[in-house]
Chain A
Amino acid sequence: MTGTERTPLDPPWSLDLLADLHAGVLDERTEAELRPRVMADPDARAVLEALDATVMDLHNLPPIPMPREVADRIDAALAAEARPAAPVVSLDEARKRRNRRLGLGGGVLAAAAAAIGIALVVAPQNNTADQPPGAQQTQTSDKPVSGPPLAVKEGEFAAAVPEVLKAQNYGPLDNQDRLAGCLKGGGITSTAKPLGISPVSLKGKTAVMAILPGGAPGQFRIVVLDPDTCGPDNPQGVIADTTIKPTR
């Protein structure tokens, strides 16, 4: 050591070292040694002030309110989550229920009751009731679904909502423009992307179910369209249009 050699704490200081000092990264001893020297140096002090100004700029960034369509989409997803999954009733259970209700016995009638029981149950395609929390898929998909479309029954469309909310599959409608045209035919003005959309099977025919914001928190509007006939000039192309609220 000659006595004139620089140590890391001698000026000029690197920006990184000054930023570390500013952020409290340095150990107490180093900071205690460095800070008075830095504060005595106008240029180094100006760097600390520049870092302060940067933090102030960041702090002054305004809040960003969540856009309405995102809020609606999340409300609908939570509403669907709050809705109990439609129960899938086993053949045996269906037989027992029907028999109990009707007070009937006998193999032929029980078999008939079971058949009716199956027809009355609308089950989502992927029943997740037995899966542990967190195992259910919540991401949306715009990929066409392979396999048969989700079966729905008139008057029980709500049971399909959790599944449809996970999809962005326009099916035979192809795209959002065609959807908007079909909705227009039913007097529904909507240019926004639906919260969920999927082909469904209704009475053995392919239809398209779209879920739109319901106009109030927690509500959503279910519209079922006939892809073969719907369009801006055909109100008959809208098979169903109903607004539902979540229940638990």
Chain B
Amino acid sequence: MTAAASSDADLISAHAAGDPYAFSELVKRHRDRMWAVALRTLRDPEEAADALQEAFISAFRAASSFRAESQVTTWLHRIVVNACLDRMRRRQTRPTVPLPEAGPGEPVAPRDAMSERETRLMVQDALAELPEEQRAPIVLVDVEGYSVAETAQLLGIAEGTVKSRCARGRAKLAKVLGHLRNQIADANVPADGVNVQAQPRRQWEDR
């Protein structure tokens, strides 16, 4: 079959029918996005690689029972997210390794490369500081662009819970990233779990 011209659903069907290359093609299409989710959720490249391998093998085995009621990407994403959540639960107290500063092939902007890189690192670090229950929905909704409904489905929690966890997480991130430098005092908000002092502040705010 012409893999490039096939839909995800066609590839799943071809895999179920015995095409040895169909599932690999499906993985190739989505692996970067899945990798980003796994890495940002787990914060440890080794753990992310293990979780993805586990998830893809599990998807490979379950693919023949896939029903077209849901999108293939949503189905695959759910398997990956579950594999990551399982690992997060297992390692609750284990320290994590910081994300690499730049992945291979990461686009390099010619202009303002330093400040863009600095911003990216700051956001990445701030994200890593969030409690896991807030980080997972923020990664899915704000970084990966999933809807609240899809995220609720992926994480197996209510939509309202997704919204409130995102709200708590964004409020912490806004402080850590320096967007709320002046507003915190005005809004009469006590400092919460985030170590605001330890985080770098943006120096190029235009507000």
Contacts and interface: CB of A to CB of B under 8 A. Distances in A.
Nearest to A42: B186
Contact of B105 (A16, A20, A65, A78): A65
Contacts of A51: 170-171, 174, 179
Interface string B12-45: 0000001011011001100111111001100001
B110 interface: no
A50 to B, nearest CB: 4
A74 B31 contact: yes
A139 interface: yes
B145 A59 contact: yes
Contact of A15 (B20, B34, B120, B180): B180
Which residue among A49, A64, A79, A81 has the maximum number of chain B CB atoms within 10 Å of its CB? A64
- B-side interface size class: 35 or more
B23 A15 contact: no
A78 B166 CA distance: 35
Contacts of A25: 160, 163-164, 167
Given A23-B166, A77-B57, A82 B20 contact: yes
Given A14-B188, A54-B173, A65 B104 contact: yes
A53 B174 contact: yes
Nearest to A56: B142
Contacts of B177: 53-54, 57
Given A54-B177, A57-B177, A63-B32, 6 more contacts: A15-B189, A16-B189, A20-B163, A50-B174, A78-B57, A217-B24
Chief secondary structure at chain A's binding surface: helix
Contacts of B166: 23
A18 B35 contact: no
Contacts of A15: 171, 175, 180, 183-184, 187, 189
A134 to B, nearest CB: 6
Interface of A: 12-16, 18-20, 22-25, 43-44, 46-47, 49-51, 53-55, 57-59, 61-68, 70-71, 73-75, 77-79, 81-82, 133-134, 138-140, 217-218, 246-248
A22 B18 CA distance: 49
Contacts of B54: 138-139
A19 B171 contact: yes
Contacts, number: 170
Contacts of B34: 66
Contacts of A140: 50
B179 A54 contact: yes
Contacts of A43: 183, 186-187
Contacts of B21: 218
Which residue among A58, A68, A247 has the maximum number of chain B CB atoms within 10 Å of its CB? A58
Contacts of A75: 24, 27
A144 B119 CA distance: 44
Nearest to B61: A133
Contacts of B175: 15
Contacts of A79: 24
A46 B207 CA distance: 10
B31 A16 contact: no
A24 B49 contact: no
A64 B35 contact: yes
B62 interface: yes
A139 B170 contact: no
Contacts of B31: 66, 71, 74
Interface string B65-97: 000000000000000000000000000000000
A248 B35 CA distance: 27
B174 A54 contact: yes
A13 B187 CA distance: 6
Interface string B127-147: 100000000001000110100
A23 B35 CA distance: 27
A67 to B, nearest CB: 6
Contact of A134 (B52, B62, B160): B62
A19 B198 CA distance: 23
Nearest 4 pairs of A and B residues by beta carbon = A50-B179, A23-B167, A15-B189, A58-B142
